[in-house]
Amino acid sequence: MRPHSMANRLTTTNAPAMAKDLSDKRILRLLYNYVNSRGLDGYLVGGSVRDALLNREGKDTDVLIPGIDETMANSIATTMDGHVIPLDPQQRVFRIILPSTNSDNYSDPYRLDISDLPDDIEKNLERRDFTIDAMAVKLADTTLEPASWRVIDPTGGRNDLKHGFVRAVNDQVINQDPIRGLRGIRLAAELGFQITHQTVGIITSGSHLIVECSPERIRDEFLRVLAAPNVGDQIAMLSKTGLLDAIIPELSVARGVSQPKEHYWNVYDHSLQAVTMSELVLTKGFRNSNEAGKLIPWKPWFTTYFEQLASDGHTRNTWLRVAALLHDVGKPQTKTIEANGKIRFFGHPTVGLEITNAILRRLRVSNHGIDMIGKMVEEHLRPGQISQKGEMPTNRAIYRYFRQMDNVAIDTLYLNFADFLAARGPALPMDEWTKHCARIAYTIEQGTGEALHSEKPPRLLDGHDVMKAFSLTPGPTLRPLLDLVEEAQAVGTITTRNQAFELLASHLHTAQSSSIGGSHA
């Protein structure tokens, strides 16, 4: 750790000009009044100090109060109309849940974490992970403007904050808690900071230890890394430090796996590039200014669509990046080389589905999230195969695509865009890309038009009708027959019950003839 004089450790700071009051100033004043009336000390610490000096609003506040116990925590909560969750009563760590103080997020709870301070404040700060989160301010000072705060800064966090660096407090931070490697990359991404060269080395040296952390902690930090802007930089840093290999070893076997000549990168590098492209295809600037981006179709409501929370507290945008990372994870196991040298990956989407499910289960992703990403991985090639080459897809094919892909139909189209761009790279053939974009644009226009969103007409037939007319019994063969009628009705091929019966009669006759013919073959 770099030496610092006492004058540097406790000084009146000149906070950046952009600093402003915390949105939780009322909460801090109540806290100060509480501890002051009892002759206690208290400190605002960590990210709360960092965010205040950077003029960032948060929904969390971290405070240290010497001697805090559950009785005191409940007393504090009562003064704020909150309630206490004991996070670690033995270590005296408590969370107080309060109504949000942010009018833009009125429904979100506000978390006030209070911990005991059994020793000196500077020693506490020196045990933290990164210098920009190893600062503290006395609660008495938080009643003032941030520019007047006297920041306790034993590790030089203010200087790193000023210059935009994420720096480890010491070379043991990863050994003490391996999740800190992911957290450092996430902090740099969210703040737009640079990780120092020495800190990159520390993260790299301890990257293999990440498996010692709980899957839930890994999942949460990993998804926050992928959710941050400029995700290509983050995924490259995860790869460089070895964290990506440690978290998803199934990807590491793709390193150096060559692909057909149409692909610019090997399987591993292509997967990383696909993550980068999955962000770009949703980015307005790319679609408005880049020659290839201008061809990507977009509807105004897609912006809010991809901002929707889809699973595990993350948006469709973030999960698209996850799908992009994993979409070709089945390729190494399915690679074959024919006698003429042609490389193939038969069945890689199906194998990829199985591997993806295993990865996401290991990371404790919800079943809903697993189903979403699994379907996208399994069907990532489908948008490019929805019609014959040089032709637009039929209404029937489009209807079938949207019905079967359901809640990830749009997402998978944009995964396909990202895959295409990542496959061709700098050698992107604009004529082929133009046709591809036109085909998907047509799919989007037809599939999201009024016909799809209008109220469905009454069913022409139900299961009882079909069983009675064709002497069938309940079973797995019934659902496909009903789907066939619904599909034909949706695209306008049939409009009456008689036409529906005729369609099924023809279909069953053809199926029976094929079965008889096959038995004599």
CATH number at residue 21: 3.30.460.10
Task: Say how far apart CA 271 and CA 273 lie, in whole Å.
Answer: 5
- Supply the pLDDT for residue 227: 97
Question: Are 273 and 397 part of one and the same domain?
Answer: yes
- Supply the pLDDT for residue 495: 75
**Residue 12 is assigned to a structural domain of this protein:** yes
- Supply the pLDDT for residue 106: 43
Question: Are 471 and 322 part of one and the same domain?
Answer: no
Instruction: Quote the number of domains for the chain.
Output: 4
Question: Are 131 and 188 part of one and the same domain?
Answer: no
Question: Are 239 and 273 part of one and the same domain?
Answer: no
The domain boundary, picked from 140, 159, 178, lies at: 159
Low-confidence residues of the chain: pLDDT under 50: 1-23, 103-106, 451-453, 519-521
Closest to 273 in 3D by CA, of 168, 385, 418, 150: 418
Closest to 286 in 3D by CA, of 134, 462, 150, 414: 414
Decide: 112 and 95 in contact? Cβ < 8 Å.
yes
Give the predicted TM-score (pTM) of the model.
0.81
The domain boundary, picked from 181, 215, 247, lies at: 247
User: What's the CATH number where 216 sits?
Assistant: 1.10.110.30
Question: Are 406 and 281 part of one and the same domain?
Answer: yes
Angle of helix 348-362 versus helix 367-378 axis, rounded to 10: 160
**Residue-wise over 255-264: b if at least 16 C-beta within 10 A, else e?**
eebebeeebb
Question: Are 364 and 411 part of one and the same domain?
Answer: yes
Question: Are 151 and 230 part of one and the same domain?
Answer: no
**Residue-wise over 443-455: b if at least 16 C-beta within 10 A, else e?**
bbebbbeeeeeee
**Residue 216 is assigned to a structural domain of this protein:** yes
Question: Are 295 and 439 part of one and the same domain?
Answer: yes
Distances in whole angstroms, Cα of residue 265 to Cα of each of 99, 254, 381, 392:
50, 11, 18, 29
For residue 344, give both structure tokens: 């193939």
**Residue 256 is assigned to a structural domain of this protein:** no
Question: Are 345 and 488 part of one and the same domain?
Answer: no
For residue 83, give both structure tokens: 């309630």
**Residue 1 is assigned to a structural domain of this protein:** no
Question: Are 311 and 203 part of one and the same domain?
Answer: no
Question: Are 114 and 169 part of one and the same domain?
Answer: no
**Residue 253 is assigned to a structural domain of this protein:** no
**Residue 458 is assigned to a structural domain of this protein:** no
Q: Which domain holds residue 492?
A: 463-519
Closest to 490 in 3D by CA, of 434, 451, 440: 451
The domain boundary, picked from 247, 270, 285, lies at: 247
**Residue 252 is assigned to a structural domain of this protein:** no
Question: Are 38 and 147 part of one and the same domain?
Answer: yes
- Supply the pLDDT for residue 510: 76
**Residue 255 is assigned to a structural domain of this protein:** no
